[in-house]
Amino acid sequence: MKAFPILFGACFILGTPNFLYAQPIHQDPLAVHIIPEPVKVTRLKGIFQLTRQVQIIIPWNNADARETALLFCRQVRASTGYWLRILHPGQPGEKGKSIRFILNQHADTTLNKEGYTLRVTPYHVFIRANQPAGLFYGMQSLVQLFPPELESTTRILGTRWIIPCVAILDYPRFGWRGLMLDVSRHFFPKSFVESYLNEMAKYKFNIFHWHLADDNGWRIQIKGLPQLTRIGAWRVPRSGRWGTFLPPQPGEAATYGGFYTQKDIREIVRYAQHRHITILPEIDVPGHSLSLIASYPNLSCTQLPYPVNPGSRFYQKQDNALCVGNDSTYLILDKIFTQVAALFPCKYIHVGGDECYKGFWAKCPKCQKLMADEHLQNVDELQSYFMKRMETMLLSKGKKMIGWDEILEGGLAPEATVMSWRGMEGGIAAAKMGHHVIMTPTKYCYLDLYQGDPAVEPPTYGVCLLSTCYRFEPVPDSVDARFILGGQGNLWTESVPNERQAEYMTWPRAMALAEVFWSPRDKRNWDDFVSRMETQFARLDQANIKYSTSAYDPIIAQDSSGNIQLSTEIDGLHIYYTFDDTDPDRFYPEYAGEPLQIPVGANMIKAVAYEGKKQVGREISFTIPASAPRPN
């Protein structure tokens, strides 16, 4: 989506890393620490204990409910060793303690399609819903009531599998609760995509936006167009900082990349469906199309042979935009989107439309002729012509079109849905025109940005803190809320070269967004979220999922007078500091909240955060500029 990372500019001050990761203190194991926060939770007396004798009772003749029960049983078996029996109501042998999945015979209008009620008593657990999706989300909340060890992929001995008795009423605020994974910049195998879907499901995300094609790699097999995966899926290998790489050298083999076969995609779609996740595919056009153009050079205005870009600077130098005046462009796109439409049940297809450099169109005879024939005044209207033609193409295949907010430029296609990323303004404009909108502004929703001090984070650009994600409000005051479908977090992967880093950048910020998209607005409470998040860290540890604790790190800033101010995202932590180049601990001076005057001769400040007697943040260092004011 981005041509190249922009220069970093934020309130953080750079320091030197100290790679210390201390885990927060976990709380009462019987406390209810569900994320996203349910609509209503009532504690009841007593506990329910899971044993190998507990039975799972599911509705007759409902494959979705059975799949949910099987997912629960498989997870329980991995960590407890129990293989729970699945029965139907009234079936011989049905007796004793049970977990019951119940579909309402008469719909509860409070719950709609995805809501549920969960009631835990000492002998039975009841999950009720109008639809199987509600049973699935009720199951996810039930899992979060159990000790974190339930997430283990290996058997845990000696744990009592007890949960508190509770009554929960729950349903989502928004119908669109999405996460996007970019697999073009770096390819992620099928096994990781499924793992990512599994983690999404735990926090009740229901849309997986799969960014399958861009300048840096084509990731989907299209039958009849073999060059897309023979050439477009591969580039020369590079390591280091994205945007600084050497372009392909003469004779250098393109060996880095990969793609998903159509069989892979069908299996991943089915895997997602079992977790009540819809996959939204994206093929980015007319810009960001260099991997397509590298495969079929006749599709660009220059018709020059270009390699798939490895992360070097090329924008405006090589033509990565499809030629809008070329009939072959539409013939190939029709073949591509015919197969994409058949592979993905989602009613939408995302066509990108962002950051398209139009300079080559302005010089292209075919594009200029089309502009004259269609009475188009400028190249923005030419892109609008293209997007409207794309919408007609997708409608003919039974799909609706989604594009990034640039599709507003030159005129919006009649039925298009807008994904607003350059702030909220594009979404506001589209909603006021009566179009549906998904809010995903960079400031709040871009999970590829720094989530802590750049000195101790992997290199990227910009800042999106955990607390910033949690403050996100998808519905602006100036628009009709009916046009806001929901929101989405986006993980672009220019600076995310491997699976562990993808996890680290996603969690826990995606937990914060999950709560924004699911929970009632008036239920959001930052301190309470942090408490529940700490319990989730223990669950991620058991599941071997990497996550960030950057929110516990000190933040060092200078005020307008040049004095030093210290803070943390998380309230209640104690910050200790030093100006003498030594490493502080809890026996050093504690920051009292007032700006610190820089001592004479000091050239560095170091700070660290504690929770009680336990270090929970990494040490952050800042080299003080020689020009900073000091006392006389």
Question: How much is the average pLDDT of 207-218?
Answer: 98
**How confident is the model at residue 14, as a pLDDT?**
36
DSSP 8-state code for residue 249: P
Q: Does residue 301 register a pLDDT over 70?
A: yes
Q: Render pLDDT for 60-117 as a digit per residue (tens, 0 to 9).
A: 999 999 999 999 999 999 999 999 999 999 888 888 899 999 999 999 999 999 999 9
> How many Cα atoms sit within 13 Å of 41 on the Cβ side?
19
Which CATH code for domain 176-413+507-542?
3.20.20.80
The residue written with tokens 């309230």 in the block is 571
Question: How much is the average pLDDT of 297-325?
Answer: 96
Is residue 355 part of the annotated active site? The answer reads: yes
The residue written with tokens 């020369």 in the block is 236
Catalytic residue among 149, 214, 284, 457: 214
Catalytic residue among 186, 209, 211, 288: 288
- Highest-confidence segment of 84-98, 587-601, 616-630: 587-601
Domain with CATH 3.20.20.80 in the chain: 176-413+507-542
The residue written with tokens 């970019």 in the block is 182
**Residues 351 and 213 sit within 8 Å (Cβ to Cβ):** no
**How confident is the model at residue 626, as a pLDDT?**
80
Is residue 436 part of the annotated active site? The answer reads: no
Q: How confident is the model at residue 531 (pLDDT cuts 50, 70, 90)?
A: very high
Q: How confident is the model at residue 139 (pLDDT cuts 50, 70, 90)?
A: very high
Strands (E), 50-187: 55-57, 85-87, 98-103, 116-120, 124-129, 162-170, 176-182
Q: Does residue 20 register a pLDDT over 60?
A: no
C-alpha gyration radius of the chain: 26
**How confident is the model at residue 93, as a pLDDT?**
80
Question: Rounded to whole angstroms, how far apart are CA atoms 511 and 500?
Answer: 17
Q: Render pLDDT for 163-202 as a digit per residue (tens, 0 to 9).
A: 999 999 999 999 999 999 999 999 999 999 999 999 999 9
Q: Does residue 630 register a pLDDT over 80?
A: no
**How confident is the model at residue 489, as a pLDDT?**
98
Is residue 288 part of the annotated active site? The answer reads: yes
Q: Does residue 477 register a pLDDT over 80?
A: yes
Catalytic residue among 355, 381, 415, 541: 355
Mean pLDDT taken over the chain: 94
For residue 52, which amino acid is it? Answer: R
Question: What is the CATH T-level fold of the domain 553-623, as seen in this structure?
Answer: Immunoglobulin-like (2.60.40)
**How confident is the model at residue 577, as a pLDDT?**
98
DSSP 8-state code for residue 451: S
Domain with CATH 3.30.379.10 in the chain: 40-170
Q: How confident is the model at residue 631 (pLDDT cuts 50, 70, 90)?
A: low
**How confident is the model at residue 562, as a pLDDT?**
85
The residue written with tokens 């809320």 in the block is 481
Domain with CATH 2.60.40 in the chain: 553-623
- The model's pTM: 0.95
**How confident is the model at residue 627, as a pLDDT?**
78
Cis peptide bond upstream of 305, omega within 30? no
Q: How confident is the model at residue 509 (pLDDT cuts 50, 70, 90)?
A: very high
What are the φ/ψ torsions at residue 515 (nearest 5 degrees)? -70, -35
Q: What's domain 40-170's architecture?
A: 2-Layer Sandwich (3.30)
- Maximal C-alpha separation, the chain: 88
Among the listed ranges 181-185, 286-290, 621-625, which one has the minimum average pLDDT value? 621-625
**How confident is the model at residue 30, as a pLDDT?**
84
Q: Does residue 368 register a pLDDT over 70?
A: yes
Q: 121: burial class by Cβ within 10 Å (0-12, 13-18, 19+)?
A: middle
**How confident is the model at residue 632, as a pLDDT?**
59
Question: How much is the average pLDDT of 12-29?
Answer: 44
